Every structure is written in C-alpha cells, then in structure tokens.
C-alpha cells in the first residue's frame, strides 16, 4: 500500500530534505585528502543536530553511524571509521538521512577527493545523469518502469554495470516504504500519482554488476573491485513533474 503524503507531511519532508542537503553541502565544502570517513560522520551529526533533526541511519537495523561512507569499489552502506583515511584520487559516496517532525529525507552523492581519473569522472557524471534521467518521469501519468527504464538506458549507453540488489524506495514516515525501485526495467506498471514520495538512487559501476557484502555485514562492494558511484534524491510526484525534496530550500 503506497500512501500519498499530505501537504503538512510534505512540508516536513521538505525541511528534512533541506537538512540533508545542508549536510551534503558542508561535506562537499570540507572534503579533502587526509580526512577520515569518521570526520565526515562528525560533520553530518553536527549539522543534523543543529537543525533539530534526527540522523535516520543511526541505529537503523543496528547501523552504527549517522551517514554511510563508501569509498571507491564500495557501493553502499560503508561504515564511517577513523581508520579510513581519504586519499587524493579516491571517490566517496556519502548517503545521508535526516528525520524532521517524524518525516524522512534521504539523499546520496558521490564526491571526488581532489583530482580523480577520467574514468572516475565519467562514472560520476553518468551516474548523476542517470538519476536525473529517471526522476524526470516522476509525474502523474507515468509508471514506475518509466523511471527504471530511463536509468538503465543511460547505464547501458555508457556500458556501466548496474547494481541489481539495491535500489530506490518509497520514503516518508520511515526510510523504506513501498514501492521498491529497481535501477533497470522490470516492467513494473505501477502508476505514479501526485503526493507519492520516492527516493530514486542509481548505483552504477565501472565494471560488472556483481556485488559482495563484506564480513562487517554492511559494506557492499563490487565483486571485480571496480569503482562504483551512487546518486540519490527524495522526490515528490506532482502533476507538473518531479519536485526534488532533498535540496536546499530558499530562505
């Protein structure tokens, strides 16, 4: 059952999304080689608390931090650590969730650390492009598979691997609501309707599709150790098109 959100619920989700966007902006601004992924978690925790929100991920199924930090071949769910030191040429996917007034915003971005290779630059550019290609179908009259198909088309055009086991999801009162959103076409004809709020989140790989979960039971990596990127927005379906909730609100 997919519940549409009321005007008041959307207002709170927009604020949650704003706080998530603030975290991303702060991390983008401060990120540099020599920092640890724990430093990034501290930045996130600080911004979330200052804005009277709750870090959604902390304690979620036992997750021990407020953000996920996934470096290079790590795809998602990397655990921030003071032992993981970022180096020039790395890419890092930062996934952030904030709960405000009981409603959740969820968004991920992959950042370069200093100068990165051309192949990594292409991976980041194309993964972000695939997110926007998909979310343009988040409007009344489209079906979920329009979104999935659009993401897959961009990945296929660039011969990038598509992570099959993880994907987008409805979001709102909890982080993971129905429906699940694949990053490739599965023929799901679910009609998209105004008031639905869904996180769209392609994860694309420079190599193949296959993934492994590490012994920490969280960190997901590519089997071939090729780099992976992850871009995500929480989006409201409207009659006019997508309304991205995880962006900075105009003050």
Where along the sequence are the contacts to Mg ion (CB under 5 A)? 95, 106, 108, 199, 232
Which C-beta is closer to Mg ion: that of 9 or that of 114? 9
Closer to Mg ion by CB, 65 or 157: give it: 65
Cβ-based neighbours of 232, under 8 Å, separated by 6 or more:
95, 106, 107, 108, 109, 131, 168, 199, 200, 201, 202, 246
Query: In whole angstroms, how close is the CB of 19 to Mg ion at the nearest point?
Result: 14
User: Distance (Å, rounded) from C-alpha 102 to C-alpha 104?
Assistant: 7
Residue placing its CB nearer to Mg ion in the complex, 9 or 106: 106
Cβ-based neighbours of 25, under 8 Å, separated by 6 or more: 248
Q: Which is nearer to Mg ion, 72 or 93 (CB)?
A: 93
DSSP 82-114: TT-B--TT-EEEEEEEEEETTEEEEEEEEEE-S
Q: Which residues pair with 211 in a beta bridge?
A: 222
Q: How far is the CB of 31 from Mg ion (least distance, A)?
A: 18
In the bound state with Mg ion, the residue whose beta carbon lies nearer, of 12 and 24, is: 24
> Phi first, then psi: what are they for 28, rounded to 5°?
-60, -40
What is the residue whose two structure tokens read 């969280």?
A: 218
Question: Two tokens at 175?
Answer: 């982080």
In degrees rounded to 5, what are phi and psi of residue 222?
-75, 140
- Give the residue with the Cβ less far from Mg ion, 31 or 104: 104
Write the Ramachandran bin of 224: left for phi over 0, alpha for psi from -120 to 50, otherwise beta.
alpha
Give the gyration radius of the chain's Cα atoms: 17
Using alpha carbons, select from 11, 20, 12, 113 the residue that is nearest to residue 66: 20
CB nearer to Mg ion: pick between 106 and 177: 106
CB of 222 to Mg ion, least distance (A): 18
Closest contact distance (angstroms) between CB of 95 and Mg ion is 4
* Shortest distance in whole angstroms from residue 145 CB to Mg ion: 19
We find the least distance from the C-beta atom of residue 104 to Mg ion, in angstroms, to be: 9
- How far apart are CB 56 and Mg ion at their closest, in Å? 9
């Amino acid at each position: 059952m997919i519940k549409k959100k009321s005007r008041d619920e959307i207002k709170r989700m927009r604020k949650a999304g704003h706080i998530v966007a603030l975290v991303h902006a702060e991390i983008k601004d401060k990120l540099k080689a020599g920092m640890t992924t724990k430093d990034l978690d501290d930045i996130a925790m600080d911004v979330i608390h200052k804005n009277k929100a709750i870090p959604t991920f902390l304690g979620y199924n036992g997750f021990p931090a407020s953000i996920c930090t996934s470096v290079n071949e790590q795809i998602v769910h990397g655990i921030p650590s003071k032992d993981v030191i970022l180096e020039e040429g790395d890419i890092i996917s930062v996934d952030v969730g904030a709960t405000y007034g009981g409603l959740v915003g969820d968004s991920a971005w992959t950042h370069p650390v200093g100068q990165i290779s051309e192949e990594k630059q292409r991976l980041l550019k194309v993964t972000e492009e695939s997110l926007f290609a998909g979310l343009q179908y988040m409007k009344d009259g489209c079906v979920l598979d329009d979104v999935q198909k659009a993401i897959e088309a961009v990945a296929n055009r660039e011969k990038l691997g598509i992570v099959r086991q993880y994907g987008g999801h409805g979001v709102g009162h909890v982080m993971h609501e129905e429906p699940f959103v694949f990053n490739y076409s599965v023929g799901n004809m679910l009609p998209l309707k105004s008031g639905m709020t869904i996180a769209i989140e392609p994860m694309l790989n420079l190599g193949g599709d296959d993934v492994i979960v590490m012994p920490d039971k969280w960190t997901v990596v590519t089997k071939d150790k090729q780099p992976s990127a992850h871009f995500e927005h929480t989006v409201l379906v409207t009659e006019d098109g997508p309304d991205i909730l995880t962006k900075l609100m105009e003050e």
